[in-house]
Amino acid sequence: METAYVGVIVNRAAIASVISLLEQSIASHENFTCKQLLTVLYATQAGGMTQQELASKLGVNASTITRTLTVLGPDGTGCLLKKGDMVLPDPHVLEALEELFGNF
Residues in the chain: 104
Cα separation, 91 vs 4, in Å, equals 36
Q: Would you say residue 2 has pLDDT above 60? A: no
Q: What is the pLDDT of residue 103?
A: 59
Do the beta carbons of residue 29 and residue 77 sit within 8 Å?
yes
Q: Per residue in 72-84, pLDDT tens? A: 999 988 899 999 9
Residue 17 near residue 49, CB atoms below 8 Å = no
**Lowest mean pLDDT across 23-27, 38-42, 69-73, 86-90:** 23-27
Each domain of the chain, given as residue ranges in start order, spans 31-101
Q: What predicted TM-score, i.e. pTM, was given to this entire model?
A: 0.79
> What is d(CA 76, CA 37) in angstroms, rounded to the nearest whole number?
14
Task: Give pLDDT, residue 86.
Answer: 96
Query: 31-101, what's its fold?
Result: Arc Repressor Mutant, subunit A (1.10.10)
